[in-house]
Amino acid sequence: MTTTDPHILFEDWFAEAQALEPNDASAMTLATADRQGRPSARMVLLKGHDPRGFVFYTNLGSRKGEDLNANPQAALLFHWKSLRRQIRIEGPVEPVSAEEADAYFASRPRDSQIGAWASDQSRPLDRRETFESRYVEHRDKYEGGDVPRPPHWSGFRVVPERIEFWIDRPHRLHERRLFLRDGDSWAESLLYP
């Protein structure tokens, strides 16, 4: 049965990718643009999704954090090569709540929590030893206790306005199914390959 809800279709495809994709199925390309419209893309991990949108976390002072603060629009791309499928998502970006960020941060491995304190993500680093020293400093600081979420670390939610499901077909006769947000519902159409 074919669904007309792109979130249900995403759930189905994502579950299949989690079961069959040999690499990390939650890896997605995040594309942003700065205030002048200069684009930048990088891989991040999907950390949550529901009908409100698709969530990832980062250092707010990173390049992506600064881009999203200046220009709160983003595009995501999931490419599961072994499944010959991809999903493209575009829309405005909003910050997650402090409660959501706290809950996710608390679920991270302790070394990752300490790394969030030690890293000035995307900033110049004079040498690796500087970062490692900062890591040890924060590890020692929080020894024996919980590691709180840094104030410069949180998450973003991409609120989808456009979701495209792409299936690879022989001879480049691909299948492209497009969903566009229409108020509280979705309008569906097909695209030429």
Planar angle of CA 14, 20, 24, nearest 5 degrees: 65
108 is catalytic: no
The catalytic residue among 52, 88, 139, 172 is 172
Q: Please choose, from the candidates 78, 44, 80, the residue with its C-alpha nearest in 3D space to the C-alpha of residue 156.
A: 44
Phi first, then psi, for residue 110 (nearest 5°) are -55, -45
**Cα(23)–Cα(183) distance, integer angstroms:** 36
- Whole-angstrom Cα distance, residue 135 to residue 122? 16
Position 185, amino acid: S
HSE toward the beta carbon, residue 170, CA cutoff 13 A: 0
Q: What residues are labeled active site?
A: 172
